[in-house]
Structure 1
Amino acid sequence: MLLKDFYSVVSSTELAGEFITEVKINKDHDLYRGHFPDRPVTPGVILMQLFKEEAERRSNKKLQLATAANVKFMAVVDPNICEKLILQSSIVSENGILKLKGIAKQNDTISLKISATYKPIS
């Protein structure tokens, strides 16, 4: 976990090749003191990191982002509105490269859509 105590995994399931992971964001994390004190916003790069860590959990490998071909931030993730975030992803391995497609949702609002590839760290 890149940011210690930033989130915890509440549940994680696989259904028809899709992974659904519910995480609880720590709304009191130090990150929000600077981003932003009066209106906390989860940085987009942190949302992207959640998917990398999900791919690492699923593959049981340390990974490095190789490409992020399609990343769309669609709504602000404010931990004061909802501390839970749902990550839905599909992960396919081809020639040692992991390809991930995913969405992050807060309540029923899509916050992020991502298509990325990761390579194992030697």
Structure 2
Amino acid sequence: MVLEGFYEISNTSLAGDKAVTSLKVNKDHEIYQGHFPGRPVTPGVVLMQLFKEEAERIFDKKLQLVRADNLKFTAVFDPGQDAELILESHLTETGEFIKLKGIAKNNQGIVLKINTLYKFC
């Protein structure tokens, strides 16, 4: 796990190709010391990593990003205002690849829309 200590999983539900995971983000994590002191903002690459780590956990295999299409960062995720983040993922396994289409949202709305392709390592 790259994001050691950054989040805790509150709940995960799986139904068919859909996974919904609730995370509690650690607003005191070292990432926020530099991004940005006094006004924490979660870096976009960290939000992307959350989806990858959750897919690795679900499939119990390491993944490598192959392609990221249509990434849309629609709002700032400030853990000081709302520490809960919901990841909704549609995961399709095709041979050695995983297609992931999802959204990350908090109580204020959608933070990220993501469409990625990973390969099994």
Q: What's the % identity of the aligned pairs?
A: 53
Structure 1 residues 8-87: aligned runs within 5 Å: 8-87=8-87
Secondary structure at the aligned position of 2:102 is classed as strand
CA RMSD of aligned residues (A): 0.9
1-side partners of 2:115 and 2:86: how far apart?
16
1-side partners of 2:70 and 2:55: how far apart?
17
Letter of the aligned partner of 1:11 in structure 2?
N
Relative to structure 2, which stretch is displaced further, 7-16 or 49-58?
A: 7-16
| TM-score, length-scaled by structure 2 | 0.96
The alignment status of 1:99 with 2:99, answered yes or no, reads: yes
2-side partners of 1:58 and 1:18: how far apart?
11
1:16–1:120 distance in 2 versus 1, CA, 3 Å: closer
Structure 1 stretches of 4+ moved >3 Å: none
| Residues 35 and 42 in structure 2, CA contact (< 8 A), matched pair in contact too | yes
Write the deviation string for residues 71-120 of structure 1: whole angstroms up to 9, x where unpaired: 00000000011000000001001121000000000114100000000011
Structure 2's unaligned 5+ residue stretches are none
1-side partners of 2:119 and 2:88: how far apart?
20
CA-CA distance at 1:3 after TM superposition: 1.9
Structure 1's unaligned 5+ residue stretches are none
| TM-score, length-scaled by structure 1 | 0.96
Tell me how many residue pairs correspond in the alignment: 121
